[in-house]
Structure 1
Amino acid sequence: MTTQASAVLKGIYYPAGSSRAEPAEIMVDTYGLIHPAVSSKHLGIPRCGMTEMKISTRVGSTPRQLRFPDGSLFETEDNDAVDQVLPPGGSGWFEGVIHKLESKARHVLISAAVIFGFIYLFMVYVVPDASRRVAMSLPPSVAVSVGEGTLDLLDDFAFDPSRLSAERKAELRQQLQELAAASGSEFTYRLEFRSSPEIGANAFALPDGTLVLMDGLEELAENDQQIMAVMSHEIGHVVHRHGLRQALQRSGLSVMLILVTGDIVSATNLAAAIPAFLLESHYSREMETEADDYALQHMQKVGLEPVHFANIMRLLAASHGQDDEDGMPGFLSTHPMMEERIERFEP
């Protein structure tokens, strides 16, 4: 029989089927057999081999639990002694590595840095890429389902009815249909009108193809061509499914679940994230660039001078008193820098 080190372990003994706790000592001989110490014999500690017991993994300096075959329990803080008398291979390499990492502050800090680094890379690179793949692979019906009801929610707490006349709305809707007809998009676009003193001059695109024009933007624009230039940009957000992608990114692990399992039903549960994103968040540099690219190409395709987009951007910047992108509404917000974007649309 293979021999091993012997030791006396001090701790607390819990008899089987009882909540009573008693100080106790157990002896482990060189053959791995457990005996109650002389002072603990009256407690009825059973005799058995170490291989018959269930021994908890070492986690830092927390007490170890040794469970006897009859269900009784011995708990000790003498972790080093337990490691000393464990059967060969009883601790396992993984537990040993974990204990070494936990034993030194430097190892803990390094491990924490690695974990946070992984989380950062996951959120900055993996989740956005996975969100793009998922959003573009889903059928248009899913984007429509996600967008349905969003405008109703926004009307409840953010938007007021538009003050524009029915004739003006019909005029702009007709222009949008002519603009969208040349897009070849799989979505059906409709133009809605709202107002809000807090939001002011702005426009939004919902995942289902609904475009929302705020009264403030209609009042600010010098001509309808500028408004249609903004609509071209918003159509770009719909075509590239930016609203759905942002909702997926905000959902975190949900996007990975959809990517791995193909559970489309989970995607339709993202609708609640859309209103908050539209009002509180901004598109990424990549998304704004994609929408700009689409707007520029589409405007050239339909014969709408790109300079109209540059002009409305300058008007919006002046109305908000901003020299950079901070505080800019919807399609002007974040990156790339406003001046760089304007230059792309100028002659």
Structure 2
Amino acid sequence: MPTITNKTNSTTYKAILIHPQLPTGRQQGDVRFGSQKIDIQAGDFYYHIPFADLEIEAGGASGQFIFFKSRKEKEVSIYTKDKSILKDDFLISDPRFREHIKDTKFVLNSLYRGVALVLGICILMSTCFYLFKDNIVRKGAENVPISWEEQIGEELFESIYEEYTFIENDSLIAVLGEELQPLINQVEAEGFNIELYLVEDASINAFALPGGKVVINSGLIKNASSWDEVAGVMAHEISHVSLRHHIRGAIDKIGFFSIVYLFFGDGSAIMATLANTMFEIQTSAYSRTLEKEADIKGVEYLQQSRINPEGMIQFFEMLDEKNEMTSMDSLMSFISTHPSTPDRIIHLKEQIIDNKENNYISFQSNYNDFKEGVLLTTN
């Protein structure tokens, strides 16, 4: 076929010609438009399609190629990814191709519309997640069985067992359990099993493991002045258990798409990740939001148990006073894992200010005798 000699338009576009007479069946060339045709020069091979026979459409991978085809020669086509070709003056000036160009552009842009739609949905879901994060995380935690959390608590307990010297005095443990039983009953009624442990540690601290094991340092017993104060601390710690703060902290940390699996997918698929995360966060502080929740819930438990909630405030006031007087290590361990003590005191006082109840229970044993027993055991 002859090589094109008269160019009616100086604008050229790179394209591929598919033709059965080409050695490999296809070859790259230069496309030009004239007043009544489109032609392509691919090496020494020339081909043209009159406008009267021309069809334009999008196709190929993801519909991102522009095809120029002849109605008469179905085995021949010209295609390109150069979208500027649809703006060629000869092409857009011919009214026969307006609908062709419009439809082709619509298909070409469909991929971008799809990407924009998916991106928009992701942004919307992420925005909703952060706006309603606490509620979503709480609901996700409810989908995790308590028994599974108890199993993780057992594994955590085994991992820390060698780190502490446990006070294995049945009499002291029995007294502790009897005095705190009204409080424990509130939580166990919700399906949790609370177990109390005493350890030899001068730090003013106590912590709860997932599922219900609560470890109390001898330093806390030494510095508390009444059963009301100990009960206040215990109410706070067991609230972390009943409010599922361990699993909520883990779910919050692993992120949005893992939460989706908890709601709609196979929850067991992310249990291993949750377990590893719970091991990591056990040694870190709870968020201020979770700590405030535990304080509020703790006061509710105390009131339901008819234990004076002022004991919780008195304990924190003691911490605040010691913090002003000294920076001893035993105090720092508690303060480093809990919110600002003055702020907590203010919030707690606001919570119980309207509580006129004064028919609080009387504890069965003398706290000083219990404290002395614990201190004798640790010496």
Which of 270, 273, 283 is equivalent to 2:277? 273
Q: Mapping of 1:1-347 within 5 angstroms?
A: 9-11=12-14, 24-27=29-32, 35-37=39-41, 40-42=42-44, 50-51=56-57, 53-54=59-60, 78-82=82-86, 87-92=101-106, 95=109, 118=124, 121-153=127-159, 155=160, 160-162=163-165, 164=167, 166=169, 168-169=172-173, 171-177=175-181, 179-183=183-187, 184-193=189-198, 200-252=203-255, 253-261=257-265, 263-266=266-269, 268-269=271-272, 270-285=274-289, 287-321=290-324, 328-330=335-337, 332-333=338-339, 337-343=343-349, 344-345=351-352
User: What is the deviation of 1:95?
Assistant: 2.4
Which amino acid in the other structure matches residue 335 of structure 2? M
On the 8 A contact 1:289/1:336 being kept in 2, the answer is: no
On the 8 A contact 1:248/1:254 being kept in 2, the answer is: yes
| 1:130-152 per-position Cα deviation (integer Å, ceiling 9, x unaligned) | 22123235443243244342334
Gaps of 5+ in 1: 1-5, 17-21, 59-63, 103-111
On the 8 A contact 1:161/1:195 being kept in 2, the answer is: yes
- Residue in 1 that maps onto 2:330: none
> What CA distance in whole angstroms lies between the structure 2 residues aligned with 1:73 and 1:204?
73
Alignment RMSD, CA only? 4.9
Which amino acid in the other structure matches residue 213 of structure 2? T
Distance 1:163 1:7, change over 3 A: farther
User: What is the deviation of 1:276?
Assistant: 2.6
Distance 1:93 1:12, change over 3 A: closer
Distance 1:173 1:267, change over 3 A: farther
Distance 1:297 1:26, change over 3 A: same
Distance 1:25 1:290, change over 3 A: same
> What CA distance in whole angstroms lies between the structure 1 residues aligned with 2:179 and 2:204?
19
User: What is the deviation of 1:82?
Assistant: 4.9
| 1:76-116 per-position Cα deviation (integer Å, ceiling 9, x unaligned) | 6x5423566774312228928959x99xxxxxxxxx9x899
Q: 1:192 is paired with a residue of what secondary structure?
A: strand
User: What is the deviation of 1:299?
Assistant: 1.8
User: What is the deviation of 1:188?
Assistant: 0.7
What percentage of aligned pairs have identical amino acids?
17
Q: 2:335 is paired with a residue of what secondary structure?
A: coil
> What CA distance in whole angstroms lies between the structure 1 residues aligned with 2:216 and 2:303?
22
Gaps of 5+ in 2: 1-8, 20-26, 92-99, 327-333, 356-379
Q: 1:294 is paired with a residue of what secondary structure?
A: helix
- Residue in 2 that maps onto 1:61: none
User: What is the deviation of 1:267?
Assistant: 6.0
> What CA distance in whole angstroms lies between the structure 2 residues aligned with 1:67 and 1:176?
84
Which amino acid in the other structure matches residue 328 of structure 1? I
Which amino acid in the other structure matches residue 41 of structure 1? G
Q: 1:280 is paired with a residue of what secondary structure?
A: coil
User: What is the deviation of 1:43?
Assistant: 7.5
| 1:146-183 per-position Cα deviation (integer Å, ceiling 9, x unaligned) | 43423344x29xx8213646354554345444531344
Which amino acid in the other structure matches residue 280 of structure 1? S
> What CA distance in whole angstroms lies between the structure 2 residues aligned with 1:170 and 1:46?
99
Count of residues in Structure 1 that have an aligned counterpart in Structure 2? 308
Which amino acid in the other structure matches residue 51 of structure 1? E
Taking structure 1 as the reference length, the TM-score comes to 0.66
User: What is the deviation of 1:123?
Assistant: 4.0
On the 8 A contact 1:179/1:302 being kept in 2, the answer is: yes
Distance 1:257 1:335, change over 3 A: farther
> What CA distance in whole angstroms lies between the structure 2 residues aligned with 1:174 and 1:267?
39
User: What is the deviation of 1:186?
Assistant: 0.9
On the 8 A contact 1:317/1:328 being kept in 2, the answer is: no
> What CA distance in whole angstroms lies between the structure 2 residues aligned with 1:45 and 1:318?
94
Taking structure 2 as the reference length, the TM-score comes to 0.61
On the 8 A contact 1:169/1:193 being kept in 2, the answer is: yes
Q: 1:88 is paired with a residue of what secondary structure?
A: helix
